[in-house]
Amino acid sequence: MVLHLSEITNLNRKKGVTIVEFKELGLSERIVQGITHMGYNVPTEVQERALPLMVSGKELIVRSKTGSGKTLAFGSGALQMLELKKARKALILAPVRELALQIMSEIRAVGKFCPYRVICAYGGQDIDMQINLIYRGVDILVATPGRLLDLFERGIIDLNDFDFVVVDEADKMFEMGFAEDVDKILSNTSYARKLQFFSATITNEIKHMYTKYVKEYEVVEVGQEEKPPQIKEEKINIERPDKFNKLVEIIKEHRAVDKTGKILVFVATQRATEYLGRRLKESGISASYIHGDVKQRRRENIMSDFKENDSGILVATDIAARGIHIDDISLVLNYDEAMDAVTHLHRIGRTGRMGAEGKAITFVEENPFYRKPSNPSFRLRTGPYNPNYGKEGNRQYGQKRPYRGPNRGRPSGPGEYSGREERGGYRGQSGHERKGEGEHSGQSGKPGFNRRPRSRTYKPNGYRKPRPKR
């Protein structure tokens, strides 16, 4: 069963008419008080449609665009299930660490006036510290799949205690290869648990996994899978060498208009984040970078500084494209294009959150396989400088090496030698070449010139094999 908002409801929302309040969604007074303390008074569409169903015990697949308030929906739903004693514990799975930490902080804020302990378990942090926190008691556990399975296999966590399970960003979870981990986790949870899937897109893989554990469920789809209308998007056709200068120009122009808004720059690779972050600093623009290989403590510090700094600039890979809740990002700049349309929607969805206006700019390379134009004076080959390169008789780059016999192009006579000949000559040279006449012959007293090259098993005179120790 697919639930859609009626045309009248959509029209009322466009006109700004208040439909319901949080206290009308079946939430307890303590939870409503926490939501009000966060500054939210009117629920969003996904909160209005999903919360009453979750509280009544329904199992859902919820599809909603990014920035629509999904975290507050399932977070307050989990708290309400604990309030009603319909669940012993709640489990929330997230694909990446940053998202798990933000879910934990938001649920703690919603449940500020509730006596429930919310703990986050993720990789990259000391597991002993997380074990100590779990031993003290946990009511809502937010975790990444890998660390949760590690704790489960050690016997620290009993998954059978969790009666309310949420899989957030389910499409990203399967895209990152966590399908087997999620399957193992769900197979060990309580048989009576209530399972909720929240995602920006609903794929066949998600439906297949969900129907394996749930027979009767409802699908809530809110909004269309398209760019939010409050985001102004611009595409710039540009050559690769001009991208950085254009980036600096856009940042300075945006800073002249909006001095407090944050800027998020997306690139394709981890190496590109570090390169772009360093170049921006060299250009006098303060910027940080983050990617999957950055140590966890540093990642947390970077994200914390980016949130608190009113004029921060962050260069990131697609790790920041999903579920990063920063409301005051005024500009998203795609330095490298996204791999697919879904990732592109998630990238630009970092701005314009919760109905605010935002701007997104995408660099579209006119020639993605760009190479520097050929220059006769430009040496493509590496190695020592050759002053005769390009002259007649000197082999050009790309030409086939001529066959020169067993000597392979080595000096073939007296007078044509290098420093290596002075150290004993070449193995491929004939006797008359090594003993030739002239100042470079063997009679000149050069040490080792007439001597046969030493083999790898050469042992000098007087060498004695050391006696074994008794």
Confidence of residue 21 (pLDDT cuts 50, 70, 90): confident
Give the H or E element holding residue 72.
Answer: helix 70-83
CA distances from 130 to 88, 102, 160, 458 (A): 20, 17, 19, 60
**pLDDT average, residue stretch 229-235:** 82
Confidence of residue 403 (pLDDT cuts 50, 70, 90): low
CA angle in degrees (0–180, nearest 5) for 438-449-455: 155
- Tell me 25's DSSP state: G
pLDDT above 90 covers a percentage of the chain that reads 33
**pLDDT average, residue stretch 376-394:** 53
CA–CA distance, 40 with 48 (Å, rounded to integer): 13
How far is residue 236 CA from its own chain's centroid? 24
Contact 5, 45 (CB under 8 A): yes
Residue 460 predicted with pLDDT over 70: no
Task: Look at the chain and count its residues.
Answer: 470
Q: Which two tokens stand for residue 124?
A: 């990259």
Record: fold of 2-222: Rossmann fold (3.40.50)
Task: Decide: pTM greater than 0.85.
Answer: no
Residue-range domain boundaries for the chain = 2-222, 231-365
Question: Each residue of 257-277: b (16+ CB within 10 Å) or e?
Answer: eeeebbbbbbbeebebbbebb
Closest of 121, 113, 147, 68 to residue 353, by C-alpha: 68
Q: Which two tokens stand for residue 394?
A: 């000197």
Write down the pLDDT at residue 127.
92
Write down the pLDDT at residue 169.
87
Confidence of residue 187 (pLDDT cuts 50, 70, 90): very high
CA–CA distance, 329 with 316 (Å, rounded to integer): 14
Confidence of residue 93 (pLDDT cuts 50, 70, 90): very high
Write down the pLDDT at residue 405.
56
CA–CA distance, 283 with 300 (Å, rounded to integer): 25
Residue appearing with tokens 């947390």 = 300
Closest of 232, 207, 214 to residue 356, by C-alpha: 232
Strand pairing class (288-290; 313-316): parallel
Write down the pLDDT at residue 440.
44
CA–CA distance, 123 with 146 (Å, rounded to integer): 7
Closest of 185, 86, 183, 172 to residue 141, by C-alpha: 185
Residue 314 predicted with pLDDT over 80: yes
CA–CA distance, 198 with 167 (Å, rounded to integer): 6
Let me know if the fold of 2-222 is the same as that of 231-365: yes
Taking residue 22's Cβ as centre, other Cβ atoms within 10 Å add up to 22
Q: Which residues contact 208 (CB under 8 A, 6 or more apart)?
A: none
CA–CA distance, 364 with 71 (Å, rounded to integer): 33
pLDDT above 70 covers a percentage of the chain that reads 70
Give the class (CATH, top level) of 231-365.
alpha beta
**pLDDT average, residue stretch 14-24:** 63
